[in-house]
Amino acid sequence: GQQLNQSPQSMFIQEGEDVSMNCTSSSIFNTWLWYKQDPGEGPVLLIALYKAGELTSNGRLTAQFGITRKDSFLNISASIPSDVGIYFCAGQNSNTGNQFYFGTGTSLTVIP
Amino acid sequence: DVKVTQSSRYLVKRTGEKVFLECVQDMDHENMFWYRQDPGLGLRLIYFSYDVKMKEKGDIPEGYSVSREKKERFSLILESASTNQTSMYLCASSSGQGASPLHFGNGTRLTVT
Query: Which residues in chain A show pLDDT less than 50?
Result: none
| Ranges A79-83, A92-96, B20-24, B27-31: which has the least confidence | A92-96
Total beta-carbon pairs less than 8 A apart between chain A and chain B: 54
pLDDT band, residue B18 (cuts 50/70/90): very high
pLDDT band, residue B97 (cuts 50/70/90): low
| Ranges A13-17, A36-40, B19-23, B75-79: which has the least confidence | A36-40
Interface of B with A in 33-62 (CB under 8 A): 40-45, 48, 50, 58-59
| String of DSSP letters for B68-107 | EEETTEEEEEESS--GGG-EEEEEEEE-SSSSPPPEE---
Count of helix runs (H) and strand runs (E) in chain B: 0, 11
- Give pLDDT, residue B16: 97
Is the model's pLDDT at B79 over the cut of 80?
yes
- Enumerate the residues of chain B whose CB falls inside 8 A of the CB of residue A100: 102
- CA nearest to A47 within chain B: B101
Mean pLDDT of B7-35: 95
Is the model's pLDDT at B2 over the cut of 90?
no
Mean pLDDT of B43-57: 93
- Give pLDDT, residue A1: 61
- Enumerate the residues of chain B whose CB falls inside 8 A of the CB of residue A98: 31, 48, 50, 94
Q: What distance in Å separates the CA atoms of residue B104 and residue A42, rounded to the nearest whole number?
A: 6
Is the model's pLDDT at B98 over the cut of 70?
no
- Enumerate the residues of chain B whose CB falls inside 8 A of the CB of residue A103: 42
**Which chain A residues have any C-beta within 8 angstroms of a chain B C-beta?**
1, 3, 30-31, 33, 35, 40-45, 48, 50, 88, 90, 92, 94, 98-100, 102-105
Q: Are B72 and B82 in contact (CB under 8 A)?
A: no
Closest-CA distance, A104 to chain B, in angstroms, reads 4
Contact B48 A30 (CB under 8 A): no
Spell out a b/e string for A96-105, using b for 16 or more CB atoms within 10 Å of the CB, else e: eebbbbbbbb
- Other C-beta atoms within 10 Å of A83: how many? 18
